[in-house]
């Protein structure tokens, strides 16, 4: 409700534009008479290499079913200026390109990069293109999780990025636990922070592989403390700390969640776990891939992460050890108050368009095709998004706007099927997932490769926990969803680096716990105080 006035204003503006542009008769799926080439840059990851390209070694990032579809439907050819692995390499290469103004025609960026490109005057406003060419169903999907993804890309009243929309609820952390280890030790699923600590210690001390070596972790953490795999967000949330997002204080003003008093309590608890040998002393230099290797090898049975972690990396763990069993459970509170799992604008990237592009509307048409083919009335989700025999096929597309409610909706459809057994009512993506669950339940070797899907959408699936969060009011939203403020653009990245450096040092005992107080002071002095003022100025404007 606090954002109602600004949302209504934006909706009114969008509707007025829609009325004007509809008369022009722009075709959201119009095929070009002559071929149009769209040039992107992109990252890729191991899921495509080990799934799609392993099955189709003759295919490439520009020769595959998605590129074929855009060519057949729109007469649009996809090309890439460069392709690198996801992570630091991609970020560094893209940031270098942005710094010198050498960006491709179309590029997916975060909000900070978007603002830098606006300030450099190299990208164009897209509100007219959105209103003219976004198909009705596309608009329905892109706006179904609220207008925050649009607000985040709106500067001086202009929309500069088309949101590759994703779910906000999906951001919330879960606690992944090896339940076969719990059974061996006679332990319950942890429902309090004391039980989480006890479970971590019991796992670390148990010699499950019988090698006589003290090489099992209590809890797995990666150097990227706030990612969606081997995260610490759920741990900090237990102490009413919300790192990296903005929440209200007792006076109704926004405060940066990393500076809350509970953050100090969480850091002290983590240092205590480190002293007990429950945390890898080298976690500060190990990325998620390295930690995934240890988890796959059976060196860990407890970590915070996202609903999709059962597909990666946990599927690899159970492939090696058929007795391994993992379950996603709710994060728990370390205080006398109910726990809240932090969420954020689920949209992590926006597609921007260079000013000199001849056919900027081509990317909006691609959004229409992607959304229609995956979730439209005549969708082919089981081919283009979630085929039975492969993973992450959707990543072959250079634009990947998601239906924000596709996962929770599919889970609820499957829950209804589990009650009434009527498969005729299961359609779309839910039907694709049901076929995966049935293949797993068949007990075949091929079906076992779909264990990860059962852990998300089965009767004890991860999405049941996320829906429980929502129904019980157990989420803490990020209340700042605007474009980066002026001081954020220049200083927030440095402050975030300072934060992570100090936090890691405190956990490892290289800094005393009181270093947190100095961090809060330094945060404010080095720009945080001004950022907080700017954030609250924005917040007051949308209340």
pLDDT at 53: 87
The CATH class of the 173-342+478-542 domain is alpha beta
Give the pairing of strands 154-155 and 158-159: antiparallel
Q: 């706007």: which residue's tokens?
A: 401
Evaluate if residue 9 carries a pLDDT over 80.
Answer: no
Question: How far apart, in whole angstroms, are the C-alpha atoms of residue 7 and residue 482?
Answer: 12
Averaged pLDDT for residues 96-112: 91
Instruction: Place 212 in a pLDDT band, splitting at 50, 70 and 90.
Output: confident
pLDDT at 392: 82
Instruction: For 328-347, write each residue's pLDDT tens digit.
Output: 999 999 999 999 999 998 89
Lowest mean pLDDT among 50-54, 239-243, 314-318, 457-461: 50-54
Give the pairing of strands 246-248 and 254-256: antiparallel
| Residue 63 near residue 23, CB atoms below 8 Å | no
Instruction: For 261-303, write each residue's pLDDT tens digit.
Output: 999 999 999 999 999 999 999 999 999 999 999 999 999 999 9
Evaluate if residue 87 carries a pLDDT over 90.
Answer: no
Is 466 strand, coil or helix? helix
Q: What is the DSSP letter of 475?
A: E
Averaged pLDDT for residues 158-168: 94
Evaluate if residue 210 carries a pLDDT over 90.
Answer: no
Q: What is the dihedral of CA 219, 221, 227, 233, to 10 degrees?
A: 50
Evaluate if residue 5 carries a pLDDT over 60.
Answer: no
Evaluate if residue 233 carries a pLDDT over 70.
Answer: yes
Tell the burial category of 541 from Cβ atoms under 10 Å away from its Cβ (0-12, 13-18, 19+). Answer: exposed
Query: Which string of DSSP letters, residue by residue, matches 129-173?
Result: HHHHH--HHHHHHHTTT-SHHHHTTEETTEE--EE----SGGGS-
Q: 């009114």: which residue's tokens?
A: 12
pLDDT at 8: 39
Evaluate if residue 501 carries a pLDDT over 80.
Answer: yes
Evaluate if residue 216 carries a pLDDT over 60.
Answer: yes
Across the chain, mean pLDDT equals 92
Lowest mean pLDDT among 22-26, 368-372, 452-456, 511-515: 22-26
User: Is-same-fold flag (4-166+352-396; 173-342+478-542)?
Assistant: yes
Instruction: For 120-138, write each residue's pLDDT tens digit.
Output: 999 999 999 999 999 999 9
| Residue 239 near residue 335, CB atoms below 8 Å | yes
Query: How do the domains of the chain map onto residue ranges?
Result: 4-166+352-396, 173-342+478-542, 406-474
Q: What is the DSSP letter of 245?
A: S
pLDDT at 22: 45
Give the pairing of strands 162-163 and 350-353: antiparallel
Find the farthest-apart pair of alpha carbons in the chain and give their distance in angstroms, rounded.
75
Instruction: Tell me how many degrees the CA angle 348-354-358 measures, rounded to the nearest 5.
Output: 130
Averaged pLDDT for residues 76-103: 89
Instruction: For 19-67, write each residue's pLDDT tens digit.
Output: 444 435 689 999 999 999 999 999 888 778 877 888 889 999 999 999 9
Question: How far apart, in whole angstroms, are the C-alpha atoms of residue 198 and residue 211?
Answer: 22
pLDDT at 458: 97
Domain 4-166+352-396 in CATH: superfamily?
Answer: Periplasmic binding protein-like II (3.40.190.10)
Question: How far apart, in whole angstroms, are the C-alpha atoms of residue 427 and residue 34?
Answer: 36
Instruction: Place 387 in a pLDDT band, splitting at 50, 70 and 90.
Output: confident
Evaluate if residue 11 carries a pLDDT over 60.
Answer: no
How far from each other are the two terminal CA atoms of the chain, in whole angstroms? 8
Among residues 302, 317, 327, the alpha carbon closest in space to that of 456 is found at 327
């Amino acid at each position: 409700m606090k954002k109602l006035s600004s949302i209504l204003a934006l909706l009114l503006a969008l509707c007025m534009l829609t009325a004007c542009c509809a008369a022009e008769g722009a075709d959201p799926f119009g095929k070009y008479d002559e071929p149009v080439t769209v040039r992107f840059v992109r990252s890729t990851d191991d899921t495509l290499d080990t799934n799609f390209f392993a099955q189709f070694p003759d295919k490439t990032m520009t020769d595959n079913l998605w590129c074929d579809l855009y060519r057949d439907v729109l007469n649009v050819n996809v090309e890439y200026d460069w392709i690198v692995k996801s992570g630091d390499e991609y970020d560094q290469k893209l940031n270098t390109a942005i710094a010198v103004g050498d960006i491709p025609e179309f590029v997916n960026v975060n909000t900070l990069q978007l603002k830098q490109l606006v300030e450099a005057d190299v990208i164009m406003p897209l509100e007219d293109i959105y209103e003219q060419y976004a198909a009705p169903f596309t608009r329905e999907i892109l706006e179904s999780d609220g207008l925050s993804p649009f607000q985040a890309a709106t500067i001086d009243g202009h929309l500069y990025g088309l949101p590759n929309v994703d779910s906000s609820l999906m951001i919330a952390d879960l606690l992944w636990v090896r339940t076969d280890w719990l059974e061996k030790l006679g332990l319950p699923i942890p429902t309090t922070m004391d039980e989480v600590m006890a479970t971590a210690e019991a796992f670390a001390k148990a010699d499950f592989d019988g090698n006589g070596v003290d090489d099992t972790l209590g809890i797995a953490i990666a150097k990227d403390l706030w990612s969606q795999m081997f995260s610490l967000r759920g741990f900090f949330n237990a102490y009413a700390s919300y790192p990296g997002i903005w929440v209200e204080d007792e006076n109704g003003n926004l405060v940066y969640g990393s500076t809350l008093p509970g953050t100090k309590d969480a850091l002290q608890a983590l240092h205590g776990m480190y002293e007990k040998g429950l945390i890898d002393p080298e976690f500060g230099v190990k990325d998620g891939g390295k930690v995934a290797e240890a988890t796959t090898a059976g060196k860990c049975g407890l970590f915070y992460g996202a609903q999709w972690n059962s597909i990666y990396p946990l599927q690899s763990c159970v492939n090696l050890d058929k007795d391994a069993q993992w379950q996603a459970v709710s994060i728990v509170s370390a205080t006398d108050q109910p726990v809240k799992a932090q969420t954020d604008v689920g949209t992590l990237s926006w597609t921007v368009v260079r000013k000199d592009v001849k056919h900027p509307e081509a990317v909006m048409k691609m959004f229409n095709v992607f959304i229609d083919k995956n979730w439209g009335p005549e969708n082919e989700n089981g081919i283009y998004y979630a085929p039975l025999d492969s993973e992450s096929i959707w990543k072959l597309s250079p634009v990947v706007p998601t239906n924000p409610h596709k996962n929770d909706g599919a889970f609820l459809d499957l829950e209804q099927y589990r009650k009434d057994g009527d498969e005729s009512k299961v359609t779309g993506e839910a039907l694709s997932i049901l076929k995966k669950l049935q293949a797993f339940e068949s007990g075949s070797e091929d079906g076992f490769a779909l264990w990860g899907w059962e852990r998300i959408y089965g009767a004890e699936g991860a999405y049941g926990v996320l829906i429980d969060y929502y129904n019980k009011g157990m989420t803490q939203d990020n209340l700042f969803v605007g474009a980066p403020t002026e001081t954020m653009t220049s200083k927030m990245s440095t402050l975030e680096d300072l934060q992570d450096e100090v936090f890691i040092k405190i956990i490892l005992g290289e800094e005393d716990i009181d270093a947190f107080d100095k961090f809060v002071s330094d945060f404010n002095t080095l720009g945080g105080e001004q950022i907080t003022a700017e954030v609250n100025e924005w917040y007051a404007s949308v209340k």
